[in-house]
């Protein structure tokens, strides 16, 4: 019992320690659009790329659009905001001195999206990003119209955030919406109630497994191993395996799941200017 208690008490510290270890990030397929989730046809991808190319060529502003099936293949026990900031900085989106880059991230299976802004955008721009998601992106995503949500959202981000910011304009002042504020507060409470129990992710799950009794022999001799059985390459999914086994008998239980392509977070396409984000932006779900 004392061993089990010590193990449970150590789990939060184990989780915190693992967060300092670099985790995998998806590699950019291009400096403009990286559609890992397969939401766009080749024609839609080209049209979106054209918008972003014009923004960079004419105004020198780097903006990247990234779609993923899920965050889980690249991040454990991390918020969407933390993941987007780490990804933004890992890619180095935007000019390294102006820090005016923008990332438009969509997680299809997680049903979440985020606009991540470079460090030079003040906090007032966060509200603008949130309104773009609410008005130009999420309504289309809710209807399964991903190409339209990506196209309209990208255009609105360029017209309402990127270009006004470059010209030195202030972020549009938000209108006071008390009903919306109350709704958002309630949603935050619900989110916290759901998210906190899941915060420790697989580490809590593995920890409880190790202090549980074997369903075969009844001994507290369970162990867990995880491995990648097939690495993902670009658009081809890889495979990971979790095995629960007993050191006292022949009990064994194996789970296998697929994950999307990823590379080390230290890798870079060299196509971005080395910009960084301080965590500004807005998130949404549908």
Q: Tell me the C-alpha to C-alpha distance, in Å, between residue 79 and each of 19, 76, 102.
A: 12, 9, 19
Whether 38 and 138 map to the same domain: the answer is yes
Task: Give me 50's structure tokens.
Answer: 């054209």
Q: Which pLDDT value is given to residue 206?
A: 74
Asked if residue 191 is part of any domain, the answer here is no
By residue count, the chain amounts to 286
Task: Give me 130's structure tokens.
Answer: 């949130």
User: Quick one: pLDDT band at residue 228, thresholds 50, 70, 90?
Assistant: confident
Would you tell me how many other CB atoms lie within 10 Å of the CB of residue 112? 20
Phi, psi of 104 (to 5 degrees): -110, 105
Task: Give me 4's structure tokens.
Answer: 């089990």
Whether 53 and 170 map to the same domain: the answer is yes
Asked if residue 109 is part of any domain, the answer here is yes
Whether 167 and 215 map to the same domain: the answer is no
Whether 30 and 96 map to the same domain: the answer is yes
Whether 170 and 56 map to the same domain: the answer is yes
Q: Residue 83 gets which letter from DSSP?
A: H
CATH number at residue 42: 3.10.310.50
Q: Is the pLDDT of residue 48 over 80?
A: yes
Instruction: Work out how many domains the chain is built from and give that number.
Output: 2
Whether 103 and 223 map to the same domain: the answer is no
Q: Which of 51-65, 95-109, 148-162, 235-249 shows the lowest per-residue confidence on average (mean pLDDT)?
A: 235-249
Whether 42 and 164 map to the same domain: the answer is yes
Q: Which pLDDT value is given to residue 175?
A: 60
Whether 98 and 215 map to the same domain: the answer is no
Q: Which pLDDT value is given to residue 33?
A: 97
Whether 120 and 209 map to the same domain: the answer is no
Averaged pLDDT for residues 188-204 = 61
- Residue pair 141/104 in contact by the 8 Å Cβ criterion: no
Query: Which residues contact residue 220 at a Cβ distance below 8 angstroms, ignoring those fewer than 6 apart?
Result: 4, 211, 212, 213, 214
Picking from 40, 147, 157, 19, the residue whose alpha carbon sits closest to that of residue 83 is 19
Predicted confidence (pLDDT) per residue in 76-132, tens digit: 789 999 999 999 999 999 999 999 999 999 999 999 999 999 999 999 999 999 999
Asked if residue 238 is part of any domain, the answer here is yes
Average pLDDT score over the chain: 83
pTM for the structure as a whole: 0.63
Q: Which pLDDT value is given to residue 187?
A: 73
Tokens 């990127």 found at: 162
Task: Give me 55's structure tokens.
Answer: 């923004």
Whether 143 and 253 map to the same domain: the answer is no
What is the per-residue burial (b if ≥16 Cβ within 10 Å, else e) of 202-223?
A: ebbebbeebbeebeeeeeeebe
Q: Is the pLDDT of residue 178 over 50?
A: yes
Query: Which domain, by its residues, includes 221?
Result: 2-9+202-259
Q: Which of 17-26, 91-100, 251-260 shows the lowest per-residue confidence on average (mean pLDDT)?
A: 17-26
The larger pLDDT score, comparing residue 263 to residue 141, is at 141
The CA-based dihedral angle spanning residues 198, 201, 203, 208, taken in that order and rounded to the nearest 10 degrees: 40
Q: Which pLDDT value is given to residue 172?
A: 80
């Amino acid at each position: 019992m004392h061993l089990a208690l010590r193990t449970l008490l150590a789990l939060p510290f184990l989780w915190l320690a693992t967060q300092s270890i670099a985790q995998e990030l998806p590699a950019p397929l291009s400096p403009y659009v990286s559609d890992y989730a397969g939401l766009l046809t080749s024609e839609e991808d080209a049209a979106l790329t054209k918008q972003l190319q014009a923004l960079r060529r004419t105004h020198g502003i780097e903006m990247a659009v990234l779609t993923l099936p899920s965050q889980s293949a690249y991040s454990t026990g991390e918020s969407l905001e933390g993941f987007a900031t780490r990804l933004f900085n890992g890619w180095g989106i935007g000019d390294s001195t102006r820090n005016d880059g923008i990332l438009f991230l969509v997680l299809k299976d997680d049903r979440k999206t985020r606009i991540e802004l470079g460090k030079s955008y003040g906090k007032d721009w966060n509200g603008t990003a949130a309104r773009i998601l609410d008005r130009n992106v999420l309504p289309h995503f809710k209807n399964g119209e991903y190409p339209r949500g990506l196209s309209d959202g990208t255009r609105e981000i360029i017209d309402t955030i990127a270009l006004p910011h470059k010209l030195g304009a202030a972020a549009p002042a938000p209108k006071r919406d008390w009903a919306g504020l109350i709704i958002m507060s309630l949603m935050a409470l619900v989110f916290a109630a759901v998210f906190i129990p899941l915060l420790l992710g697989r580490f809590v799950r593995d920890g409880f497994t190790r202090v549980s009794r074997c369903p075969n022999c009844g001994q507290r001799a369970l162990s867990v191993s995880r491995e990648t059985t097939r690495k993902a390459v670009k658009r081809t999914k890889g495979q990971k395996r979790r095995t629960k086994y007993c050191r006292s008998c022949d009990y064994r239980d194996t789970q296998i799941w697929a994950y999307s392509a990823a590379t080390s977070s230290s890798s870079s396409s060299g196509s971005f200017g080395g910009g960084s984000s301080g965590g500004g932006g807005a998130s949404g779900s549908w």
